[in-house]
Amino acid sequence: MLQKPGKLTDGEYTIMKEHAARGGEIIQNTFNNLDNPEFQQIAYEVARYHHEKYNGKGYPDGLAGEEIPLHARVMAIADVYDAISQKRCYWDAMPVEECFNIIAKGSGSDFDPELTEIF
């Protein structure tokens, strides 16, 4: 679905949104023998919560603000920046200044405002 040109259907979008929760499960199952449980927890949180939004309107759990683990709040910004600054089959890469403007516009709604300022 990530390679599909054009907009996803509602059904495709519902399936696509499952990747965050499934990614968290994969991390738990794959990294369960690590000697570093802190690393495992961070990897799990990044995978599961990187699509949560600061205003609580994200997925998979609708977490808001500092309920979202710090690592995932950082990754949310990095993930969006990567998505919009790179050429994809469904759009061209945006200029860097435009990417920064999109992140800035999402401050307080999509992204942690303090982290947005740092970014």
Distance CA 20, CA 50 (A): 7
What are 39's two structure tokens? Answer: 């690393």
Domains of the chain plus CATH, in order, are 10-118 (1.10.3210.10)
Distance CA 8, CA 62 (A): 21
- Ranges of residues in the chain with a pLDDT under 70 are none
Express each pLDDT in 65-97 by its tens digit. Answer: 999 999 999 999 999 999 999 998 778 999 999
For the entire predicted model, the pTM comes to: 0.90
Cis peptide before 60 (omega within 30 of 0): yes
